[in-house]
Amino acid sequence: MQPVLSLNGISKSYGSIQALKNVSLDIPQGCVFGILGPNGSGKTTMLSIILDILKTDNGSFNWFGKKGSPETRKHIGSLLETPNFYHYLSAVDNLNITHAISGRGSAEEIERVLKIVKLDERKTSRFSSYSLGMKQRLAIAAALLGDPQVLVFDEPTNGLDPVGIAEIRELIKELAKRGKTIIMASHLLDEVEKVCTHVAILKKGDLLTAGSVDEVLANEDIVEISANDIGQLETILGGLSGYSHIKKEGSRLQLFFPVGTAKLEDVNRFCFEKGITLNLLTVKKKSLETKFFELTNQ
Ligand code: ADP
Ligand code: MG
C-alpha cells in the first residue's frame, strides 16, 4: 500500500543548529505514528516541514505519493499550536469562525465534529469556561473540519491534567478506529506505547529507528532461566547454540535470541539432558523503555 507520507533525506538547520539530519521515513496508511524524542530532538521542526510551515534545506517529502500538490492539503488536519479561540464566544461560534477563515468543512459539520470530541453538551458555553482538556478537544475539533484523512498533532497532551490526558488519548484512538491516519509528536514514551501503532525515534535531529511499535520493541527475545546451581547452569550453556549473548541478572541468566527464534522447549530439553532442572524458564520482550534508553544514551 502507498504510504500516506514519505520523507526522503530531509535536513534542516537553524544557523549552526542542525535540527534534522537526513531523515527518511515512510508513514503507512491507517496507523497512529508517534514521533518520539526528548525536547529539542527535532519533532516540531519535522511536523512544521511536512505541513509547509517551514522549508527544508535538503530532501523532499510526498503526501499520498504526490509532490506538494495543494489539492492534498485538504486531506490533512493539524494541531501544532493551540489556536487562538475567542474567549467570550462558544465552541460553535469559534468553529464557525475557523470554518469561515480556513474554508474547511461546512457549518453543518460543526455539530458532527463537536460530537466526536464530546463537546456537544457544552457547545454553547463560552470558551473561557472550558477546562484545558476541553480547550484542547475544541482545537482537535477544529482540525477535524473538512473530514481530513490525516491528522497531525504536536504533543497533543502537553500541559493537561491526568484526566485531560486520558481523554485526548482515548480520542486519538477513536479517530484511528474511524480510519484516520494520525501523526503525533510526543516526548512521552508511555504515551507512544499506549496510543501509537508505529514509532520513529529522534535524537538531536537523527532518526535512530522507525517501525511498528512491536518491531521496535522486540528485536530480541530474552529467555530468562534459573536453577539452583547458577554457576553450573552458566557452564553448560556454553554448549547451547542460537543465542547471541548471555547476561546475569541477579539469580537469573538472560539469553538473547534474534527475534522470533527463541524456543523454550529446546532450552528446557538442553538443560535437562545436561542434568540441570530449571526452576525458572520464561521469555520476555525487551521493553520500549529499555530500547529507548539504550538508543538515546549511546
Ligand atoms: P522538539 O519539538 O523535538 O522539542 P524542535 O524541532 O522544536 O524540537 O527543535 C529542534 C532544535 O532546533 C532545538 O535545538 C531547538 O532549540 C532548535 N530550534 C527550533 N526552532 C528554532 C528556531 N526558530 N530558531 C533557532 N533554533 C530553533
Ligand atoms: Mg516540539
Tell me, yes or no, whether 199 and 224 share the same domain: no
Contact (Cβ atoms closer than 8 angstroms) between residue 181 and residue 198:
no
Tell me, yes or no, whether 226 and 178 share the same domain: no
Q: Give the torsion sign (CA, 83, 87, 88, 92).
A: positive
Tell me, yes or no, whether 164 and 254 share the same domain: no
Spell out the per-residue pLDDT of the chain, length 298, in tens: 889 999 999 999 999 999 999 999 999 999 999 999 989 999 999 999 999 999 999 999 999 987 766 677 789 999 998 788 999 999 999 999 999 988 888 888 999 999 999 999 999 999 999 999 999 999 999 999 999 999 999 999 998 999 999 999 999 999 999 999 999 999 988 899 889 999 999 999 999 889 888 777 666 788 999 999 999 999 999 899 888 888 888 889 999 887 778 899 999 999 999 999 999 999 876 666 666 776 666 5
The radius of gyration of the chain's CA atoms, rounded to the nearest angstrom, is: 24
Query: Which of 216, 250, 267 is the endpoint of a domain?
Result: 216
| Residue in 44, 47, 56, 208 to alter for ligand 1 test, most ligand atoms within 8 A of Cβ | 44
Tell me, yes or no, whether 164 and 270 share the same domain: no
Question: Ligand 1, atom 21: nearest CA belongs to which residue?
Answer: 14
- Distance, CA of 153 to CA of 176 (rounded, Å): 13
Tell me, yes or no, whether 85 and 184 share the same domain: yes
Alpha carbon of 19 to ligand 1 centroid (Å): 6
Tell me, yes or no, whether 139 and 237 share the same domain: no
Atom of ligand 1 nearest to the CA of 202: 3
Query: Which of 216, 235, 262 is the endpoint of a domain?
Result: 216
Alpha carbon of 65 to ligand 2 centroid (Å): 26
Tell me, yes or no, whether 24 and 104 share the same domain: yes
Contact (Cβ atoms closer than 8 angstroms) between residue 171 and residue 117:
yes
Alpha carbon of 39 to ligand 1 centroid (Å): 9
Tell me, yes or no, whether 101 and 234 share the same domain: no
Tell me, yes or no, whether 291 and 192 share the same domain: no
- Residue 186 CA: distances (Å) to CA of 41, 191, 239, 250: 11, 7, 45, 34
- Distance, CA of 28 to CA of 157 (rounded, Å): 23
Ligand nearest the Cα of residue 40 is 1
How many domains are there within the chain? 2
H or E segment and range at residue 268: helix 264-273
Alpha carbon of 14 to ligand 1 centroid (Å): 8
Q: Give the torsion sign (CA, 147, 174, 134, 34).
A: negative
Q: 36 in ligand 1 pocket by Cβ < 6 Å?
A: no
**Could you tell me the CATH number of the domain that includes residue 233?**
3.30.70.100
Alpha carbon of 21 to ligand 1 centroid (Å): 13
Q: 99 in ligand 1 pocket by Cβ < 6 Å?
A: no
H or E segment and range at residue 288: helix 288-296
Predicted local distance difference test score (pLDDT) of residue 249: 83
Q: Give the torsion sign (CA, 147, 149, 155, 160).
A: positive
Query: Which of 216, 247, 264 is the endpoint of a domain?
Result: 216
Q: 48 in ligand 1 pocket by Cβ < 6 Å?
A: no
Atom of ligand 1 nearest to the CA of 48: 6
Structure-block grid coordinates of residue 140: 482537535
Q: How many CB atoms lie within 10 A of CB 117?
A: 23
Q: Give the torsion sign (CA, 188, 192, 195, 196).
A: positive
Tell me, yes or no, whether 79 and 187 share the same domain: yes
- Distance, CA of 132 to CA of 136 (rounded, Å): 6
Predicted local distance difference test score (pLDDT) of residue 22: 97
**Could you tell me the CATH number of the domain that includes residue 140?**
3.40.50.300
Task: Look up the domain containing 227 and give its range.
Answer: 219-296
Predicted local distance difference test score (pLDDT) of residue 220: 74
Tell me, yes or no, whether 96 and 235 share the same domain: no
Tell me, yes or no, whether 235 and 117 share the same domain: no
Predicted local distance difference test score (pLDDT) of residue 97: 94
